Structure 1
Amino acid sequence: MELVFFNGWGSLLRILVMGILAYATLILFLRMSGNRTLSKMNAFDLIVTVALGSTLATVLLSKDVALLDGAVALALLISLQFIITWTSVRFRWIRRLVTGEPLMLLYRGEFLTSSLRQARVTQDEVRSAIRSSGLADVAAVEAVVIETDGSLSVVKRHSESSHSSLDGIRGRH
């Protein structure tokens, strides 16, 4: 078994040149596509971000991938992201398919067991989110919602009418 620590200056020069050119190409494409492309708003956006990173790494390290091939792959990923986000803004069924919906996990001090199970979230995780929001007691919480990006939002209890702002969130309330 041979360990290779240095393939020669040519290999390093290729990585340096390809790295600069591929990085510049990626930045150009991202600027053209808009801010949404790299946002981590949901699982779909995260997948695209990881795929872009993987593609960039492949262009940098694989001698079998030409810069133009990598640029086309990056453009394809960014274009697909644009198409999916564009259609999800216009068609609710695509939005629901791609991003899911928020899900209520706790409502007025009561854990919603079926929602917790569906979201694969424990009561301890909900309690941790409540503490992180600066509240010490579940009774001080109107609701806890798992958002489409996986974060837990804590809605503080203020008045009896505050539940109207929770309309449209799945779960019993």
Structure 2
Amino acid sequence: MWFDSWYDLGRLLVVGPVAYVSLVLLLRISGKRTLAKLNAFDLVVTVALGSTLASVLLSSTVSITEGVLGMLLLVGLQYVVAWTQVRVPAVRRVVASEPTLLYRDGFLDNALRRQRVTRQEVLQAAREQSHSDLSDVAAVVLETDGSFSVLRAAPRLPATP
């Protein structure tokens, strides 16, 4: 349980840095989009890259070449899907969701139900962005990555005499 062999420890010390450097290089070459959490597909790619790295590090049945090829395949597929969704609206609709307006001059109950969000979660999002209540909030949007955007209402100007 605590120790199997010196070979396994040595393998980890050699494979670990190689796999790590390979992943960092792949991410730098592929650009910022690879790690962006813009939609569910991007999240899946990020988790899969982490899982692949862990498999290479901890499984002696997965060679460094297989691991790097797996990471390269994931990054390449993510690039192809991202490139395609920018150019083909039908692909964009399948891969990425649309932002949902949850609050504008009052809660939009149908949107809250569809997105399975409570009023308390909207209020929490407002508080996290320094709004003690919704009186100075114009709108709250559930973004495609699951985060909330709280849009401040335009300041009211005093009436001129």
Instruction: Please indicate, yes or no, whether the TM-score normalized by the shorter chain is above 0.5.
Output: yes
Aligned equivalents of 1:25, 1:137: Cα separation in 2 = 47
Which runs of structure 2 are paired with 1:1-173 in the superposition (5 Å)?
A: 4-108=1-105, 110-158=106-154
Aligned equivalents of 2:7, 2:131: Cα separation in 1 = 59
Q: SS of the residue aligned with 1:106?
A: strand
Say which is worse superposed, 35-44 or 120-129, in terms of deviation. 35-44
Cα distance, 1:141 vs structure 2? 1.6
Cα distance, 1:159 vs structure 2? 6.6
Q: SS of the residue aligned with 2:135?
A: helix
Q: SS of the residue aligned with 1:16?
A: helix
Aligned equivalents of 1:151, 1:47: Cα separation in 2 = 17
CA RMSD of aligned residues (A): 1.5
Question: Unaligned regions of 5+ residues in structure 2, if any?
Answer: 157-161
Q: SS of the residue aligned with 1:12?
A: helix
Cα distance, 1:76 vs structure 2? 0.6
Cα distance, 1:45 vs structure 2? 1.1
Aligned equivalents of 1:68, 1:101: Cα separation in 2 = 38
Aligned equivalents of 2:45, 2:76: Cα separation in 1 = 11
Q: SS of the residue aligned with 1:54?
A: helix
Q: SS of the residue aligned with 2:138?
A: strand
Say which is worse superposed, 124-133 or 145-154, in terms of deviation. 124-133
Cα distance, 1:122 vs structure 2? 0.3
Q: SS of the residue aligned with 1:41?
A: coil
Q: SS of the residue aligned with 2:146?
A: coil
Q: SS of the residue aligned with 2:151?
A: strand
Question: What TM-score, normalized to structure 1?
Answer: 0.85
Cα distance, 1:50 vs structure 2? 0.7
Q: SS of the residue aligned with 1:95?
A: helix
Identity of aligned residues (%): 49
Question: What TM-score, normalized to structure 2?
Answer: 0.91
